[in-house]
């Protein structure tokens, strides 16, 4: 049974992740509507509406993963795991302004490659040291990052 003692911190984490994603979307929305629409994009590029849906789901899964790690026993590994999660999310939230606002095509591609490497490392680390469910929740996120990496590479090389 889920108690308020467990539900409230999770809801706070989930709301924070969604709010940060929404903030990044709001910050970059003008460039998405103008600059991005004029770019040559990959044939694999999903419809624009899919991005908001995907990120809402992914931020929820990341919220669950973070919560599971946060609730795990307090160990050195847990501290490392939380620090890695924080660093990775800062990189995640920095990508949109780097790409959409600064129009840094190569830098945003390089950043997403770094994000993939860190996310895979995190997933393996979590699986071996912290919480297997928290690790497995990274699979859809890493898959989406790989697609985003392809899309970013395509835009960088074709524009």
- Reading the block at residue 71, the tokens are 């609730």
Q: What is the DSSP annotation of 131-146?
A: -HHHHHTHHHHHHHHH
Q: Which stretches of 34-137 are DSSP H helices?
A: 48-70, 76-96, 105-125, 132-136
pTM of the predicted model as reported, rounded to 2 decimal places: 0.88
Q: Which CATH number fits domain 4-158: 1.10.443.10, 3.20.10.10, 1.20.1260.100, 1.10.10.10?
A: 1.20.1260.100
* Interval 4-32 mean pLDDT: 76
The rounded distance, in Å, linking the Cα atoms of 15 and 21 is: 10
> Domain ranges in the chain?
4-158
Helix (H/G/I), strand (E/B), else coil: 107? helix
Which range has the worst mean pLDDT, 7-16, 91-100, 147-156?
A: 7-16
24-48 residue pLDDT tens = 877 777 666 688 888 999 999 999 8
Least confident of 3-12, 44-53, 63-72, 88-97: 3-12
CB 134 within 8 A of CB 68: yes
């Amino acid at each position: 049974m889920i108690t308020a003692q467990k539900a409230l911190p999770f809801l706070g984490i989930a709301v924070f992740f969604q709010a940060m994603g929404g903030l990044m979307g709001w910050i970059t929305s003008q460039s998405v509507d103008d600059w991005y629409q004029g770019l040559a994009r990959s044939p694999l590029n999903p419809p624009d509406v899919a991005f908001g849906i995907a990120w809402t789901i992914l931020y929820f899964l990341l919220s669950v993963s973070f919560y599971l790690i946060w609730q795990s026993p307090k160990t050195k590994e847990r501290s490392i795991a939380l620090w890695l999660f924080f660093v990775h999310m800062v990189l995640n939230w920095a990508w949109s302004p780097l790409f959409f606002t600064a129009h840094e095509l190569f830098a945003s591609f390089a950043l997403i490659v770094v994000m993939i490497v860190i996310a895979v490392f995190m997933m393996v680390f979590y699986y071996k040291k912290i919480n297997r469910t928290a690790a497995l929740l990274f699979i859809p996120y890493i898959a989406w990052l790989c697609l985003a990496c392809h899309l970013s590479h395509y835009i960088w090389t074709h524009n």
